[in-house]
Amino acid sequence: MELTNKIINCLPGDKWSSEYSDGGVLHLSCGTPDRLNKKRIEKRLSEAARRAGIEGAVCEIVSGFEDLSAIYARDLYAKGGVTLRVTQGECVDEDEVELEFKVKEIIYDHDLGSDCDDGGAIAVLLNAHREGYCRALAITSCVYNPYASYCVSLMCEYFGVDDIEIGVNTERDHLNDEGWYQCSKAQAEKYYTALARPYPEYESNVPLIRRCLANSRGDVTLITTGALTTLYPLMQSKPDGISPLDGATLFRDKVGHYVCGGGKFPDGTLESNFYVDPEAVDVVINKYLKGYPVTFFGAEVAGGTFSGYVMKQDKYKDYILRDIYEHHRPETCDHNSWDLGTVHYSVFGTSYGFFEERRGYTVEPYGKMGCMRLFNGGVHSYIVRRGPYEMLRDTFNELIVPRETYLAE
C-alpha cells in the first residue's frame, strides 16, 4: 500500500486539476462517456504518479472499472472502489482505492483575430477535449465579426471534433475595427474558398451560453482570454425560455470556476484585455460578480513563453492555425503563450506543477487605461508561474497541434 498511498498523498488537492486527491479519493475528470477508456485512464494515472514523484510508475486498474464506467455512462459522475496495482521497478503495490470519474465542463470565450495565441489556446482545449480530460461545451468569440468563429470551425475539423458548439458576438459591437480580424479574415477566406463551400451559421453568444449553463450540472469552468465583451451582455440578459434566471444569477448558479485571462500581478499596470473594453470589465467584475470568487491569470504568467514553431513542419502546411501564427511571425511561427497558459491551467489546474494559486485577494479593475488595484482580503485569487518558461514552451508545442501527430515524430 506504500506506492498507492504515495500517489494519493502527493497528488494536488486542487479540485480544478484534472487528477487530484481529496480525503483518500482519487478524482479524474473524464469528459463524455464515449471517451472513457480503461487504458487511457491507466495511462493518465501513471502520468499523474510520475508527476507526484514516483518515477517509472505504471498503474493498472485490476478490477472495478466496468462497474464504475456503467454508472458514469448513465450519469456523467461515478464513484466506487477499484483495485489499483502500482508497479515501480521490482516494487509492486496492489490495493483498493476509491476512484471518482466526473465531467469537467468548459465554456471558452476568446478574442482570436487581433492576435493568434487564442488559436493556440483553442488547440490546447481541443486536445484535452478529445482525450477526455474535459468536455468543452462551447467556444465563443468576443470580437464583433464572425471570422474567428469560422477559423475555430476549421480547427475543430482538423482535430476531428464535431461536438463543440461555436458562438458569434452579435450583442455588443465594441470590438469591431479591422484590427480585430487581422489574422482571421484572410485566413478564413483562403480556406473556405479552397473548400468551395459557404461559411457556417452560428448561434449568438448570449443565448448559446445561457443554454449551455442552464443544461449543465452546475459546475462549469468558464474561461475568458479577451475583453469581457461577451460577459457584459450575458450578465444583463433577462429570464427567457432558456432559463427563468437572469444572466448574473444564472452565471453565479452554474459557473463553479471562472478563470479570467486579464490583469498584471501584482503591479496592476495597463493590460490589454482590461484596456480595450474597460466598461465591460468594470461592470462585470466590480458590479455583477462582486463577492464572487474569480481566478485571474495575468499577462506575466506565460506571456514570456513563445510557442508554436512546431507548426513549421511540412505535415502542418494545411493547418489553419499555422497560417494564423505566420501572420505575426512568418519566419518562426511562434507567439507569446499567455492564452495557452490560461486554458492549460483551466483544464489541468495545478496538477502539472506549472502554476500556483495565490488566494485571498480583491482585484479591482478601474479607469479607462486597463489598470487594476490588488487588495489583501477577499475571494479573488491570481496565478503565478512555477519553474522556467522552457518548461511551459515544450508542453505548449506538444498541445498546439493534434497530439498524436506530435507524438508520432
pLDDT in tens, the chain (409 residues): 688 888 888 888 888 888 899 988 999 999 888 889 999 999 999 988 888 888 899 999 999 999 999 999 998 899 999 999 999 999 999 999 999 999 999 999 999 999 999 999 999 999 999 999 999 999 999 999 999 999 999 999 999 999 999 999 999 999 999 999 999 999 999 999 999 999 999 999 999 999 999 999 889 999 999 999 999 999 999 999 999 999 999 999 999 999 999 999 999 999 999 999 999 999 999 999 999 999 999 999 999 999 999 999 999 999 999 999 999 999 999 999 999 999 999 999 998 889 999 999 999 999 999 999 999 999 999 999 998 899 899 999 999 999 888 766 5
Strand-by-strand arrangement of the 135-141 sheet: 203-204, 165-168, 135-141, 105-110, 220-224, 255-260, 294-296, 371-385, 355-366
DSSP class of 286:
I
Predicted pLDDT at 408: 64
DSSP class of 242:
S
Residue with cell string 505535415: 315
Residue with cell string 506506492: 3
Predicted pLDDT at 13: 87
Q: How far is CA 38 from CA 10, 34, 64, 340, 372, in A?
A: 23, 12, 11, 28, 46
Residue 315, judged by CB atoms within 10 A of its CB (0-12, 13-18, 19+), counts as: exposed
- Taking the C-alpha atoms of residue 77 and residue 99, their distance in angstroms, rounded to an integer, is 11
**Position 391, amino acid:** M
Residue 107, judged by CB atoms within 10 A of its CB (0-12, 13-18, 19+), counts as: buried
Give the list of residues 6+ apart from residue 54 with CB closer than 8 angstroms, or none.
3, 6, 7, 10, 86, 88
Ranges for all domains in the chain classified under CATH 3.90.245.10: 105-407
Residue with cell string 496538477: 351
Which of these, 70, 92, 75, 74, lies nearest to 83 by C-alpha position? 92
Q: What is the chain's alpha carbon radius of gyration, rounded to the nearest angstrom?
A: 21
Predicted pLDDT at 2: 85
Contact at 8 Å (CB) between 101 and 74? no
**Pairing relation of β-strands 135-141 and 105-110?**
parallel
Q: In the numeric block, which cell numbers belong to residue 401?
A: 497541434
Whether the model clears a pTM of 0.85, i.e. scores above it, the answer is yes
Residue count of the chain, please give it.
Answer: 409
Contact at 8 Å (CB) between 151 and 324? yes
Strand-by-strand arrangement of the 77-88 sheet: 19-22, 25-29, 91-102, 77-88, 58-63
Predicted pLDDT at 375: 97
- Using N-to-C axis directions, what is the helix angle for 38-51 and 2-10, rounded to 10°? 80
**What kind of architecture, by CATH, is found in domain 105-407?**
Alpha-Beta Complex (3.90)
